Amino acid sequence: MKSVHKVFISIAMVLAACVSTAILAMQSNDVGQVKLPSIKPGQYVHQAPTLADIQNDKDLHPELRKVILKGRDLFMNTQQLRGKNVFNDMNCKSCHMGEGRMAWSGPVWPAATTLPDYRGKNGHVNSLEERIAGCFSYSMNGTPPEYGSDTMLALVAYHQYMAKGAKLYDRNIGGRGFSSLGTAMPADVSYNQGAVVYALNCAVCHGPNGEGKRVHGEVVFPPLWGDGSYNWGAGMARVFTAASFIKNNMPLGQPGRLTDKEAWDVAYFINAQERPQDPRYTGDAKETREKYLNFHKATLYGTEINGKLLGQHDNTGEKPFLKPDVLKPRTFAEGVVPEM
């Protein structure tokens, strides 16, 4: 069965090679229209400030402006932390597109207005720093900047400024995160059809093998699987997260181009490929899946696809360790002294 997987990758390559001719037959006529979900009645929306707002806000102390701009710079070019905190080809903006300001693109301001809050992923109350640390540990396949460090302060400052004027603790937010297609994967989701969607719509940028593209070492299109991509513990490894991201953001500039079914299929195909190990790995992918099933019930990790048990390997990519020290539980239960 392993060869079946290879066959589809080869097909994807063949298709990618002829994509420029084949797409002529499938040209979209309402091209240029941005088709995004509508905001539901009662949902809170907030217009995040722009770069010009940061530059021109007279209320900001010049030192604070510098810190916020540094945070923005780190957000847009997180690769400057490569080898220190980041061990793959991702930047914050790879998933939080449009400077982390856009609805349906994982806008970052809700993190500043709703945290500290309980997170199901790690089962305790998380601060904004801890939330950012999660991205570094999983999506960046790395280890977070120290809590309280200059780098962390700058990132937090950017997040918080993006929330300027927004309502605190309102959790019914329109366009938050990536879940517009719901969390239930359709029963008829198809790896093979996902491979076709990939070849026709994604491979031109992300490469026939999901490897992304670089110019003079600089990442232009991020890898979608393999060592350069997010690890098995990243939110984007959940099929529903990737499906909603793709539906509302991809191909670049064309939200809503793909049908819901196409988005689910291609998200399934992408997340059925191998990637660096989940930092919470116990040595057994099936066991790790069961242990963190509240997360992994939405991923294909620890399941068999095309005869291969996904995630059963010791590959941590470029990262020379498995688990950052910072990932640890926290409790305020009575009789338990919280960790300092």
Binding site for another protein (CB under 8 A): 8, 11, 14-15, 17-24, 27-28, 31-32, 34, 50-51, 97-99, 101-102, 192-193, 195-196, 200-201, 204-205, 213, 215-216, 218, 220-221, 251-255, 259, 262
The minimum distance between CB 299 and another protein, in angstroms, equals: 25
- Closer to another protein by Cβ: residue 18 or 293: 18
- Closer to another protein by Cβ: residue 255 or 302: 255
The minimum distance between CB 83 and another protein, in angstroms, equals: 20
Counting Cα atoms < 13 Å in the Cβ hemisphere of 57 gives 20
- Closer to another protein by Cβ: residue 177 or 324: 177
Q: What is the rounded distance in angstroms from the CA atom of residue 223 to the CA atom of residue 211?
A: 4
The minimum distance between CB 102 and another protein, in angstroms, equals: 6
The minimum distance between CB 207 and another protein, in angstroms, equals: 10
- Closer to another protein by Cβ: residue 201 or 277: 201
The minimum distance between CB 221 and another protein, in angstroms, equals: 8
- Closer to another protein by Cβ: residue 192 or 315: 192
- Closer to another protein by Cβ: residue 250 or 285: 250
Structure tokens at 332: 């305020």
- Closer to another protein by Cβ: residue 33 or 149: 33
| 334 Cβ neighbours under 8 A, 6+ residues apart | none
- Closer to another protein by Cβ: residue 109 or 221: 221
**Helix/strand/coil (H, E, C) string of the chain?**
CHHHHHHHHHHHHHHHHCHHHHHHHHCCCCCCCCCCCCCCCCCECCCCCCHHHHHHCCCCCHHHHHHHHHHHHHHHCHHHHECCCECCCCCHHHHCCHHHCCCCCCCCHHHHHHCCEEECCCCEEECHHHHHHHHHHCCCCCCCCCCCCHHHHHHHHHHHHHCCCCCCCCCCECCCCCCCCCCCCCCCCCHHHHHHHHHHHCHHHHCCCCCCEEECCEEEECCCCCCCCCCCCCHHHCHHHHHHHHHHHCCCCCCCCCCHHHHHHHHHHHCCCCCCCCCCCCCCHHHHHHHCHHHHCCCCCCCEECCEECCCCCCCCCCCCCCCCCCCCCCCCCCCCCCC
The minimum distance between CB 94 and another protein, in angstroms, equals: 11
The minimum distance between CB 28 and another protein, in angstroms, equals: 6
Contact 268, 239 (CB under 8 A): yes
The minimum distance between CB 257 and another protein, in angstroms, equals: 8
How wide is the angle at C-alpha 148 spanned by C-alphas 84 and 154, nearest 5°?
A: 75
Q: Is 9 exposed, middle or buried (0-12, 13-18, 19+ CB in 10 A)?
A: middle
- Closer to another protein by Cβ: residue 176 or 296: 176
The minimum distance between CB 110 and another protein, in angstroms, equals: 17
